[in-house]
Homo-oligomer: A and B are copies of this chain.
Amino acid sequence: MATFMDVHTGMEGITAEALMEAHRADLAIEGEEGVHFKQAWADPDSGTVYCLSEAPTAEAVQRIHERAGHPASEIHPVPLMV
């Protein structure tokens, strides 16, 4: 397992409810790929969403996000954290 930060763009105007709904959609299926989405942060003005996850691979993260209807623009492993 590794830690990943992924970034979604084009989410201008996202609401707290929409963020929660998107997160719930990920959580509902994440176990099928051994992924866990831990936290997400959104900037509605620029349409940027950051998601922090634990997962076996970046591809597993993307498969869950795609199936939940919101593929990520970038996914970075973040092995270092403070």
Residues of A within 8 A of B (CB): 3, 5, 14-16, 19-20, 23, 39-46, 48, 50, 52, 76-82
Contact = CB atoms under 8 A, between A and B. Distances in A.
Q: Report copies per complex.
A: 2
A43 B81 contact: no
Contact of A78 (B43, B77, B79): B43
A10 to B, nearest CB: 14
A59 to B, nearest CB: 16
Contacts of A52: 41
Contact of A41 (B5, B23, B40): B5
Given A5-B50, A50-B5, A50-B50, A43 B76 contact: yes
